Homo-oligomer: A and B are copies of this chain.
Amino acid sequence: MLKDFEIKNTEDKGLKNEIRELNEELATLPQQLKEKKLPVLVLIEGWSAAGKGSLIKELISELDPRFYNVKSPVIQPEKEMRYPFLYPYATLIPENGKIMFLDSGWMESAVRKFLAHEITKGEYRRRIRQVNEFERQLRDSGYIVVKIFLHISRDEQFSRLKALAEHQDTGWRVTSDDLWQLRDYSRFLDAYDEFMDKTDEVRWHVLDGTHRKTAVRDAMKLMVREMGRAIREERYCGSPFKEEFPLVPMPALGDVDLTPAISDEDYKKKLKKLQTRLSELHNIIYRKKIPVILCYEGWDAAGKGGNIRRVAYPLDPRGFDVQPIASPLPHELNRQYLWRFWTRLPRSGHITIFDRTWYGRVMVERLEGFCSETDWKRAYNEINEFERMLTDWGAVVLKFWIHIDPDTQLARFTDRQNTPEKQWKITDEDWRNREKWPQYEVAVDEMLQKTSTKNAPWYIIESNDKKYARIKTLEIIVDALEKACDGQFARSAGYEEE
């Protein structure tokens, strides 16, 4: 990849006109991207002092600022990271019709931490896998992902860093990391080369950075070509790719026995005991910086709210939050559908309870036609990958399907209808959804079968008796957190060190 690339080190002539023409062409594209609702992510990686910043400056010089953004995510020391590896990038993805330029990103972060021994070989491999998953997911949902590596030779790097360091106004820009890279140029070269080889599913483009204008011309050509192609073609909508995840077998919903119940006395006793323990565990979680993600899905009126309140009650409010998930807002609809969940993740050591989740994709969005069939069929795999990124990070991910039968739902709907204080809880939409119970049951069954992975399993919670349901949920949470505090959860649950 990188090693085969020949640095020409010759300056082409007559570039000024060529660049002007490309610039004019480039300036017309954003409007078309907007019309076609195409988002563009331009990742610019490369050597220190290769000119990434100036390249971006030239690329945006004629663009209307309404259409682009530039970010250079800071690479945080691993021990200060409070979010998953890809979090800084996944939360930054552009919305439809916008171009996001990233001045170095996931490649630089992964390679640098690996060479600095901040992460293990196994973790490095996991990150390479995550990068492939992330890029593919973006491409599959219509993102134009342009990946550029700006290449210069060691000699060139040396003379540039020297010039920077010796000038009084720019000396501060040369960091010890830059000097380390120069010193270890060939180790970095090997590592970049390997990383690019392994993440070439969404293609890398190596550009010669020796001459600024040549690099600008080449990058502009590339962008015009890639964006132009995407504008001309039908919006890309996904590969048939499917990985086999280690799954936990799940019963069909129709086979679940909903009779389990609990006596009031037993309930009170157990509730108190479990809540006390959960409170203690929250303390330990916090100190051990273990992230916890609790996902609630279930039938309308199944008792999600009351269940969540019983789990939340013993928790320190400073260390958890509940994220109620409603229909996506316009700025959320304009991005890949997992974006609004990436941005709601807990910091390590915190608990987030999702009251409805990303599984909306394969339930309501599937049934109401809010996404295409390709979209929701692809989503099982995307969700499994997303959740594996979370458990790779060390998160405890538990998913609860709060389950009742149609008769119980009817009784509760009727009760809500007849009780003035509860009437706001019941809407026409609830009644409409109820009519689609059979279709939903098919979708939920498929979801449970395909996404109950060993690392992020589903639990069916029998909730005809709400009290029984609360105790069962609490027991599962307490048990999982006990294991997590003992270091038995997450990475060891389904995925061995590769």
Contact = CB atoms under 8 A, between A and B. Distances in A.
A317 B65 contact: no
A180 interface: no
A69 interface: yes
Most buried by B among A57, A62, A170, A421: A57
Given A31-B424, A324-B65, A424-B31, A103 B318 contact: yes
Interface stretch (A217-225, A250-258, A304-312, A384-392): A304-312
Contacts of A64: 305
A456 to B, nearest CB: 22
A66 interface: yes
Given A53-B316, A53-B318, A329-B330, A65 B355 contact: yes
A322 B68 CA distance: 9
A170 B280 CA distance: 10
Contacts of A283: 169-170
B318 A70 contact: yes
A313 interface: yes
A61 interface: yes
A298 to B, nearest CB: 14
A52 to B, nearest CB: 9
Nearest to A69: B321
A287 B105 CA distance: 23
A287 B172 contact: yes
B308 A65 contact: yes
Nearest to A60: B317
A433 interface: no
A9 interface: no
Interface in A12-37: 28, 31
A355 B61 contact: no
Contacts of A7: none
Interface in A139-177: 169-170, 172
B331 A61 contact: no
A317 B169 contact: no
Interface string A343-366: 000000000010100000000000
Contacts of A103: 317-318
A353 B326 CA distance: 33
A101 interface: yes
Interface in A66-105: 66, 69-70, 72, 101, 103
Contacts of A353: 65
A56 interface: yes
A70 to B, nearest CB: 4
A65 B316 contact: no
A280 B56 CA distance: 18
A313 B60 CA distance: 8
Nearest to A310: B61
A477 to B, nearest CB: 16
Contacts of A287: 172
B309 A57 contact: no
B317 A101 contact: yes
Given A57-B313, A57-B317, A329-B329, A322 B172 contact: no
Nearest to A67: B324
Nearest to A35: B424
Contacts of A324: 65-66
B355 A66 contact: yes
Nearest to A421: B28
Contacts of A70: 317-318, 321
For the complex of A and B, the 8 pairs showing the least CB-CB separation, nearest first, are A65-B322, A66-B324, A70-B317, A72-B318, A56-B317, A31-B424, A61-B313, A57-B317
26 contacts: A53-B317, A53-B318, A57-B313, A57-B317, A61-B309, A61-B313, A64-B305, A65-B305, A65-B308, A65-B309, A65-B353, A66-B322, A66-B324, A66-B326, A66-B355, A70-B318, A70-B321, A72-B317, A101-B317, A103-B317, A103-B318, A169-B280, A170-B283, A329-B330, A329-B331, A330-B330
Interface of A: 28, 31, 53, 56-57, 60-62, 64-66, 69-70, 72, 101, 103, 169-170, 172, 280, 283, 287, 305, 308-309, 312-313, 315-318, 321-322, 324, 326, 329-331, 353, 355, 421, 424
Given A65-B309, A65-B324, A70-B318, 12 more contacts: A53-B316, A62-B309, A65-B308, A65-B312, A66-B355, A70-B317, A72-B318, A101-B317, A103-B317, A169-B280, A329-B331, A330-B330
